[in-house]
Structure formats: structure tokens, C-alpha cells
Amino acid sequence: MKGKKYILAFILLLTMTVFLAACNTSDSGSTSTDSNSDSGTPSTDSNTTDNSTTSTPQVLVFGRGADSVSLDPAIVTDGESFKVTQNLFETLLNFGEQNTTIHPGLAKEWQVSDDGLTYTFQLQEGVKFHDGTDFNAEAVVKNINRWKGGTEEDFYYFNSMFKAEGADVIADVKADGDYTVVFTLSRPQAPFLKNLAMSPFGIASPTAFEAAGDKFGDNPVGTGPFKFTEWKRNDSITIEKNADYWQQGLPKLDKVIFRSIPDNSARLNALTAGDIDLADGINPSDGKTVEGNADLQLIERPSMNIGYLGLTNTRPPFDNKLVRQAVNYAIDKQAIVDAFFEGRAQVAANPMPSSISGYNEAIEPYPYDPEKAKSLLAEAGYDGKEIELWAMPVPRPYMPDGAKVAEVIQKNLEDVGIKSKIVTFEWATYLEKAKNGDADAFMLGWTGDNGDADNFIYTLLDKDNIGSNNYAYYSNDEVHDLLIKAQSETDENVRNDLYKKAQEIIHEDAPWVPLAHSTPLLAAKAGVKGFLPHPTGSDKLDNVSIE
Amino acid sequence: MLHYIGKRLLHLIPVLLGMTFIVFLIIRAIPGDPAQVILGQQATAETIAALRQKLGLDNPWYIQYFDYLKGVFTGDLGESLRTRQPILSEVWPYLAATFELAFFAIFIAVILGVNAGIISAWFQNSWFDYVAMVIALIGVSMPIFWLGLMEQWVFSINLGWLPTSGRENVRDPITAITHFYLLDTLLQGRFDQFIVVLKHLLLPGIALATIPTAIIARMTRASMLEVMRSDFIRTARAKGQKMFIVVYKHALKNALIPVLTVVGLQTGMLLGGAILTETIFSWPGIGRYIYEAIGFRDYPVIQSGILIVAFLFVMINLLVDILYTVIDSRIKYN
């Protein structure tokens, strides 16, 4: 019996030691937002149990927040789906490596008629789909007709980008020989080429989508640098090198595995432990931790977003322009950027970031001026009624911590005499209620699809989009006329002037408080080379390699 | 006995029906439109209306409910609004993943909890008893989220012993047969992968086992203390039986009934309630499947997912009731 007691004591002691050790070290780990808690961390490659492979194999494990919905790019709307399809499919035109300028893709050259109604594309020759089908003009025509013939809810992006007032912008598309495709438009569309370069318009193998029907999203076939291998839902998607890829020497990786790890901290843990090679969605507060770890590198995605505080323009007190302007003066935007974006963001002046053509540089953000705000409120006859301030329940690239930012805004408003109550809802509810105009003031944001001014200003603030993306219910006929004119204006300079003018009016009307253009963060193992994150959020991985 | 089981299974029908009804009403009462979520922030009102019509969401709720019930009775759980896949074909891998994790966790919990409880009762008021019960108290109140991240930090990042998350080494993926990965690797004779799967199970398994271990330990201790004071134990000891035999054979068998009840309840809870653990350890299980469906307002998945979990919960408790008769022959069902 005595012997048994000693064994017992020993086991207990052992357990306690491990437990206490865990408690001890954990404190610094859980709270370290800016301190480097990883000194002495063993090297990433050798210490993980089942990843004993060295870094030579060209296999990249990409950790991200959620799984894809489908791998048919034409039918999905979520960014996580496009992250994968971007590497399986190719579009007729490509965006620049880290911007949204237009470059050749599956189309090597193109001509536009003077009236802006006919686009003629010369296609790459000798390209094959993963299933061996030839890529040619016929295949392009079949793809366009598939999108055109589908219902609006199935082919959402095609309808939103290539339809105006219920009519197809692409009136007709024809093959002229094997490698020439001619598009005829029903009206000039300024962002036409940029739209074609978007991920949803990846060209799919007609043989495959005709055979698979609804199941095409489970067996995607494109011409891209990688081929689809396997999908374990909610877990991982594996794609492998397309050995017959038409671009010499690409891709450099043999395999890419997209893993979904929902929690941001757990994803960073997985990266630090070497279970994954690249992690999307790094909290701004973890940026310094990553920078302080020699085994990791911090990667910044070029900014193409806007985080804003929307003021529902039809609800009192924000139906009064002076009150809206007062709120713009009252909020200390720089302090918000410094505190919650760790300085990795730009204070916003306009509803779109400066990288987008047509940005009005002459407009300055409303300065932080509580006194001015107070006098405007007095002038407006604001009655001091408490407002509801809606805080985002989920982190988004344009808003890392909605709840905390809301607290600062609440304090700023209180300083000028506007009382507010912070409320929040679960995300789907939040969007629905805000869209219905139920909010007084709400936080929201937007990441651009195609890098065009129209995709920000018209989409977010035109009266056509009230009940859709114009959550602020802002309506100004002068702005509307400018934006509609800009949609079919093909002269880039004239078009930019139209947008600049629109931004001036919007600045004066102050339907929102534009807060920030953030720089979303990623992190990778030090050995990952050639990864260039794209502002649209869909990254091409053909040039990535692992050293 | 068969009669009893039959009766219990019949009782199951109104229980599950009532549950589908309540779940159906609740998820439709919360705002947020699936069509809106599927189409994203960009969608226009017309597109949303068209999709609602296509998905049958514009029908009155009672028609939707009866359509759903009709499907359930014909073995059709419906289609996920988000992935457009039949739920019946989609759900198994998630369910298997959760089964594997939950049973692993409950296995740890029973071994640790029962033994800690026994020893605490055996050496009542000893330092072991006090320490074990304090640890059990901490275990019950420990936030799983925090515990999970700490486990990763200690055992994966600093010690490098175990992987942080997932079910397998994605660089050397497992070919799924039954979707129980431990079993699948054995079926394929891949013992190296078996070890890998076991290592992936450890951290989430411990996180998930913490609360049940603590509850089982406390229950076992209380139950054992009661039994140990009874006459037949005193008799056994007086006859000079070894303490080990007295405790593990005579006393434990009699103390096990309430413990078994707790084990049954906890197993059921783990099947549906493992969401936090599944999130931290990115475990592709049924908890996360349902949780994500809620975010997407994927009504059929929420309904059917909860129905499946509730069914399993009830079945496990039936199994526990049957096990009572095996352990204690005095219990009879008529």
C-alpha cells in the first residue's frame, strides 16, 4: 500500500508540474499583443511531429479563415472560394501583380472600336484545359453563353457586372476563326475590361461543365497553373501542379493545400508551429509578434478597401446635413487608426482608396475639431436625443475590432453632446437590419472587386443601390447623374473628372464618416518566396516557391 | 426488455417531432435572410427575391415545415442552401469527425475521472483528495477557448510535440474509407499515419475531456463514498479482502450507476457542444457544421444537424439505461 502511495504521489507531482508550467508560460502568451514572447522558440521545421519533411518539397499549406462554398467561380460570391479558383482558372485578361491595371491573360491582344461597342480579343494558342479539351474561341463563347443563359441568382457576378437596367451589356459574342472572339456591347461600358479580369469570369472547360451540370463546383476544370485534386469539406482543399501549363517554368509549387482554421490566434499558432506555411488574416495586434520572429515574415496586402461609419440619411438626426458634418468633425480618425489598426491603415477622406483611378486628392478628411462639431450641432438645432451606434460583431479586413472602435466613437460623440448606445447583432442579422435602414449609425466597410471607382462610389452611394449596398440611404440626383455618365464614358480623363466632382459633393453631403483604408496582414514562413498578395484578395500562387 | 426498448423508441417520435418544430420556429424567428447571405453584401433586392422564391423561402412557414417533415420521413433531409448538396451525403464526414473526437475525449474522461474519483474516495480527506477536487473544480470552470490556445502554445509551439490543429497531416493526407481516421489508417495498414492521427486527437481530446473528467471525478467520488460506508463493504473488509479488490470490484460496481448516467449525458453533450474545441483546433466536425450553417442561415442544415444530434443524444441515453441492467441485475424494465 505504501508503495502505491508513492507512485500516486509521483504521478500527481508530474501532472501538477506540467499544469503549472502551462499556466506560467501561458500568461505571457495570451496577453502578449506587443511584446515578443517567442524568444527561444525552436526552428519551425524540425520541431513538429508529423511535418518532419524539410523545406525542399514544393508544397505550400495556406491557412485561411473559412472553407470555400463551391469551386465554380461563376456561381460563388465569397472571397474564400475565389482564393482557390484563381489558381485553377484563368481569365481573358489579368490584373497587374499587385494592382488592378489590365494585362494580357488568355487573350494576348485586344482591340476596342471607336464607339466602345466592339471588343475583339486574340486568344493564346496551344492552351489546353486540365481535362485535355482545347482552349479556343468556341470555348470562350460557350462560357459567356453559359453565364448569360443562367439565372440571375445563379450567376450573380455576371449579372451584377454585365447587366444594366435589366439588359445584357454583352449583346452578342461570336467566334471569328479558332482564336478570335468578338464581343458586341449594347452600350459602352467603361470598366468592361476590368470586369473581365475578375475571378468570377475564369474560363472553364465546356466539356466539363456540360457534363457535370450542378456538380461542376465539385470538379472544377480550367486552364490554370494548378489542377484540382481533393476537397475535404470544412478542412482542406488540395490542388496540384498542372504539368502541361502553357507558361514556361510555372507554377513553381508542386502542390498547394488550403486549410481552413477559423480562429485567428489558432491560425497564427499553426504557422508558428510549422503546421502551415502561409496564414491569411493576421490580427494587426499580432503584427509585431510576427516581425519579431526570425522564422516568419509579415506580408502586407495592398489596400483596396474602406471602413466607414454609415449615418442613415433618412433617419433623424442624420437626415440633417449639419449633424452629419458635425459627426465627421467629432470623430478622431487618426487616433482610431493608431490604436486599433496599429498604424497599418490610412485615414480615409473619400469613399474609395487613393490607389483607384479617379480619386480626388484635393479633398482632405474632416479634421478632428470638437468645437466646430458643437457649433454645427447647435446650428442644426440637434435635440440631444440618444442614438443607437451599431458595432460590427465580426472582424473584417477593413475593421479589425468593431466593438472597441465603437467605444472610441461613442466617447468622441459624447464629447460634443451626442449620447449614443452601442448595440450589436449577429452578422447576418446586422447586415439585414442595416440594409433595411433600421440603424441610426452603423459601422461597415467594403473591399473592391475590380479596382474601379464605379465599384466603390456607384455601388455604395448611388440612389440606385438603396436597399442594396447603399446602406446609408444616401440619395443625391446630381451625384447619380455624374455616376451614370461615368459608367459609359470611355475617355479615362473625362471619366476621372466625373468621379472627382462626385466625391466633392459626397464630401459636402457627408453621408458617412469615412474612417480608414486598412492594410490587411498575412504572415508566412521565412522560406516562402515570390508571394505577392493581390488587393482584390484573390492571390495567384504560380510564382511562389519555398526555399 | 425488447418491449421496453420498443416503447422508448416510440417515445422518441413525439420528442423529435416537437424538437424539429421548436427549432424550425426559432431559426425562422431570428432576422437574417439566407438568400441575402448566399448572394453577399452586393446583392440587389430583385436577385434576393428571385433566390428566395427558388429556395421556397417565400412559402408560408407551415408549408415549409410540412415539406420538411415529408422529406424527413422519406429519408430526405433536404439540401444545404449554401453548398446545394444533399445534407445526407454531406453530413457523414462531419459526424464521423465529431464521433472520433468525442469518444476519444470521453474515453480519457472516464479513465481519468473514474480513477481520480475512486482514489479520492479511497483516501478521503487526504492531500490527494483535496488536490484532485481542486483540480476538478478548476477543470469545470476552465474556459475551453483559453485552454485550447494554451495547449497549442505549450505542446505545439514550445515543446513541438503535437500538431496545433486539424485531423491529419495535410502533406500526407489520409484516404477516407469510413471517415473514422484511426480506423481508416489501420484498414490501410498505415501505422505511421495511425500515430499521426492519434497525435492530432490529443490536444482537442484533452480540451474536450476537461469538463467531463472533472464532473465524472466528482460524481464517482460522491457515489463511492456512499457505497464505501455500506454494510456489505464493511463485511468484505472484515473478511480480509484486499482493499484493491474491495474498491475496484465490490464498491465500484455499485457506485457506477450514477457515474454511468453522467457519462451518458456528457457524451451526448460532447456530440453537439464541441463547437469551441472544433473551432480552436479547426476540427471539421458536426458542431462547426451547424455553427457555420447558423451564420449562413442555412435552414435545412441547422434543422437536420440539430435533429441528428438530438437523435444521437436520446439514443445514447437509451443505451445507458440498458447498460444499467447489465451492471446491476436488480434493475429491470417491464
Residue in chain B nearest A51 by alpha carbon: B169
Distance in Å, alpha carbon of B106 to nearest chain A alpha carbon: 19
Distance in Å, alpha carbon of A170 to nearest chain B alpha carbon: 19
SS (H, E, C) A23-56: HHHHHHHHHCCCCCCCCCCCCHHHHCCCCCCCCC
A285 within 8 A of A33, measured Cβ to Cβ: yes
SS (H, E, C) A259-280: EECCCHHHHHHHHHHCCCCEEE
- Number of helical (H) and strand (E) elements in chain A, helices listed first: 17, 23
Taking phi first (over 0 means left), then psi (-120 to 50 degrees means alpha), and beta for anything else, what does residue A343 get?
left
Distance in Å, alpha carbon of B281 to nearest chain A alpha carbon: 7
Residues of A in contact with B282 (CB under 8 A): 235, 259-263, 266, 270
Q: List the 119-138 stretch of A: residues with Cβ below 8 A of B.
A: none
Whole-complex ipTM: 0.85
A461 within 8 A of A351, measured Cβ to Cβ: yes
A345 strand-pairing partners: A518
Residue in chain A nearest B119 by alpha carbon: A8
Residues of A in contact with B165 (CB under 8 A): 261, 266, 269-270, 275
Question: Is A177 within 8 Å of chain B by CB?
Answer: no
pLDDT in tens, B178-210: 999 999 999 999 999 999 999 999 999 999 999
B131 within 8 A of B263, measured Cβ to Cβ: no
Closest CA to A536 of A447, A445, A458: A447
Cβ–Cβ gap A25/B153 under 8 Å? yes
Q: Quick one: B65 exposed, middle or buried, by C-beta within 10 A (0-12, 13-18, 19+)?
A: middle
Distance in Å, alpha carbon of A186 to nearest chain B alpha carbon: 22
Question: Is A49 within 8 Å of chain B by CB?
Answer: yes
Alpha-carbon gap, residue A438 to A314, rounded angstroms:
10
Residues of B in contact with A469 (CB under 8 A): 41-42
Alpha-carbon gap, residue B92 to B220, rounded angstroms:
34
Mean pLDDT (chain B) is 86
Per-residue pLDDT of chain A (547 residues; tens, 9 = 90+): 444 444 444 444 444 443 433 333 333 333 333 333 333 333 333 333 344 444 568 999 999 998 998 999 999 888 899 999 999 999 999 999 998 899 999 999 999 999 989 999 999 999 999 999 999 999 999 999 999 887 767 788 898 888 877 788 999 999 999 999 999 999 889 889 999 999 999 999 999 999 998 889 999 999 999 999 999 988 999 999 999 999 999 999 999 999 999 888 999 999 999 999 999 999 998 999 999 999 999 999 999 999 999 999 999 899 999 999 999 999 999 999 999 998 899 999 999 999 898 999 999 999 999 999 999 999 999 988 999 999 998 888 899 889 999 999 999 999 999 999 999 988 878 888 888 899 999 999 998 888 899 999 999 999 988 877 899 999 999 999 999 999 888 888 999 999 999 999 999 999 999 999 999 999 999 999 999 999 999 999 999 999 8
Distance in Å, alpha carbon of A367 to nearest chain B alpha carbon: 30
Nearest-CB residue to B45 (from A51, A234, A468): A468
Nearest-CB residue to A69 (from B83, B146, B171): B83
Residues of A in contact with B153 (CB under 8 A): 25-26, 29-30, 269
Question: Is A272 within 8 Å of chain B by CB?
Answer: yes
Nearest-CB residue to A235 (from B37, B51, B284): B284
Residue in chain B nearest A255 by alpha carbon: B171
A437 within 8 A of A388, measured Cβ to Cβ: no
Please measure the distance between the N-terminal and C-terminal CA atoms of chain A and give it in whole angstroms: 59
- Number of helical (H) and strand (E) elements in chain B, helices listed first: 15, 0
Question: Is A467 within 8 Å of chain B by CB?
Answer: yes
Closest CA to A62 of A198, A201, A226: A226
B148 within 8 A of B203, measured Cβ to Cβ: yes
Alpha-carbon gap, residue A351 to A354, rounded angstroms:
10
Cβ–Cβ gap A270/B164 under 8 Å? yes
Cβ–Cβ gap A235/B83 under 8 Å? no
Query: What pLDDT, on a 0 to 100 scale, did the predictor assign at position B152?
Result: 92
Question: What is the DSSP code string of B163-228?
Answer: -SSSSS-TTS----SSS-HHHHHHHTT-HHHHHHHHHHHHHHHHHHHHHHHHHHHHHHHHHHHHHH
Please measure the distance between the N-terminal and C-terminal CA atoms of chain B and give it in whole angstroms: 7
Cis bond before residue A511 (omega within 30° of 0): no
pLDDT in tens, A241-273: 999 999 999 999 999 999 999 888 999 999 999
Helix (H, G, I), strand (E, B) or coil at B323: helix
Query: What pLDDT, on a 0 to 100 scale, did the predictor assign at position A54?
Result: 46
* Residue A160: other Cβ atoms inside 10 A: 22
Alpha-carbon gap, residue A153 to A60, rounded angstroms:
34
Cβ–Cβ gap B160/A47 under 8 Å? yes
Closest CA to A281 of A114, B195, A290, A20: A290
Nearest-CB residue to B165 (from A21, A266, A428): A266
Whole-model pTM: value is: 0.84
Distances (CA, A) of B158 to A240, A272, B41, B202, B204: 32, 10, 41, 16, 17
Angle between helices B252-273 and B87-122 in degrees, nearest 10: 150
The residues near A332 (Cβ < 8 Å, ≥ 6 apart) are: A368, A408, A412
Question: Is A294 within 8 Å of chain B by CB?
Answer: no
Alpha-carbon gap, residue B259 to B222, rounded angstroms:
10
In a mutational test of the A interface, the residue from B38, B42, B181 whose CB has the highest number of chain A CBs within 10 Å is B42
Q: List the 418-437 stretch of A: residues with Cβ below 8 A of B.
A: 425-429, 431-433, 435
Closest CA to A82 of A162, A157, A152: A157
In a mutational test of the A interface, the residue from B128, B170, B199, B297 whose CB has the highest number of chain A CBs within 10 Å is B170
Alpha-carbon gap, residue B334 to B330, rounded angstroms:
12
Query: Would strands A387-390 and A420-423 be described as parallel, antiparallel, or unpaired?
Result: parallel
Q: List the 183-222 stretch of A: residues with Cβ below 8 A of B.
A: 214, 217
Residues of B in contact with A214 (CB under 8 A): 84
Cis bond before residue A317 (omega within 30° of 0): yes
Distance in Å, alpha carbon of A371 to nearest chain B alpha carbon: 36
Distance in Å, alpha carbon of A422 to nearest chain B alpha carbon: 19
Identify the sign of the CA torsion A406, A407, A408, A410.
positive
Nearest-CB residue to A160 (from B42, B176, B284): B42
Average pLDDT over residues B109-123: 91
Cβ–Cβ gap B148/A16 under 8 Å? no
Helix (H, G, I), strand (E, B) or coil at A281: strand
* Residue B27: other Cβ atoms inside 10 A: 18
Strands (E), A132-265: 163-164, 167-168, 170-175, 180-185, 226-232, 236-241, 255-260
Residue in chain B nearest A260 by alpha carbon: B282
Nearest-CB residue to B30 (from A12, A53, A429): A429
Query: What pLDDT, on a 0 to 100 scale, did the predictor assign at position A42?
Result: 36
pLDDT in tens, B262-310: 888 888 888 877 888 998 999 999 988 988 888 888 888 988 888 888 8
- Phi and psi of A102, rounded to 5°? -100, 130
Alpha-carbon gap, residue A408 to A410, rounded angstroms:
5
Identify the sign of the CA torsion A91, A97, A99, A102.
negative
Q: Quick one: B274 exposed, middle or buried, by C-beta within 10 A (0-12, 13-18, 19+)?
A: buried
Residues of B in contact with A266 (CB under 8 A): 148-149, 152, 164-165, 279-282
Nearest-CB residue to B50 (from A50, A66, A152): A152
Cβ–Cβ gap A26/B150 under 8 Å? yes
Query: What pLDDT, on a 0 to 100 scale, did the predictor assign at position A23?
Result: 37
pLDDT in tens, A396-424: 889 988 999 999 999 999 999 999 999 99
Query: What pLDDT, on a 0 to 100 scale, did the predictor assign at position A44?
Result: 36
Residues of A in contact with B41 (CB under 8 A): 431, 446, 469
Question: What is the DSSP code string of A114-161?
Answer: TTS-EEEEEEPSS-B-TTSPBPSHHHHHHHHHHHHHS-TTTSHHHHHH
pLDDT reading at B165 higher than 70: yes
Question: Is A372 within 8 Å of chain B by CB?
Answer: no
Using the 8-state DSSP alphabet, how is residue A363 labeled?
A: P
Cβ–Cβ gap B171/A59 under 8 Å? yes
Cβ–Cβ gap B40/A77 under 8 Å? yes
Residues of B in contact with A151 (CB under 8 A): 50, 54
A167 strand-pairing partners: A164
The residues near B180 (Cβ < 8 Å, ≥ 6 apart) are: B96, B99, B100
Alpha-carbon gap, residue A338 to A340, rounded angstroms:
6
Alpha-carbon gap, residue B316 to A344, rounded angstroms:
52
A388 strand-pairing partners: A421
Residues of B in contact with A10 (CB under 8 A): none
Alpha-carbon gap, residue B1 to B19, rounded angstroms:
27
A187-206 as b/e: b if 16+ CB within 10 A: ebbbbbbbbbbbbbbbbbbb
Q: Quick one: A126 exposed, middle or buried, by C-beta within 10 A (0-12, 13-18, 19+)?
A: exposed
Alpha-carbon gap, residue B298 to B231, rounded angstroms:
58
Cβ–Cβ gap A214/B84 under 8 Å? yes
Q: List the 136-175 stretch of A: residues with Cβ below 8 A of B.
A: 151-153, 156, 159-160
- Phi and psi of A374, rounded to 5°? -60, -45
The residues near A85 (Cβ < 8 Å, ≥ 6 apart) are: A68, A71, A72, A73, A76, A199, A202, A220, A222, A538
A180 strand-pairing partners: A122
Alpha-carbon gap, residue A493 to A14, rounded angstroms:
74
Nearest-CB residue to A156 (from B47, B135, B171): B47
Question: Is A466 within 8 Å of chain B by CB?
Answer: no
Label residue B9 by pLDDT band (50, 70, 90): confident
* Residue B5: other Cβ atoms inside 10 A: 13
Query: Would strands A441-447 and A420-423 be described as parallel, antiparallel, or unpaired?
Result: unpaired
Q: Tally A–B CB contacts below 8 A.
A: 201
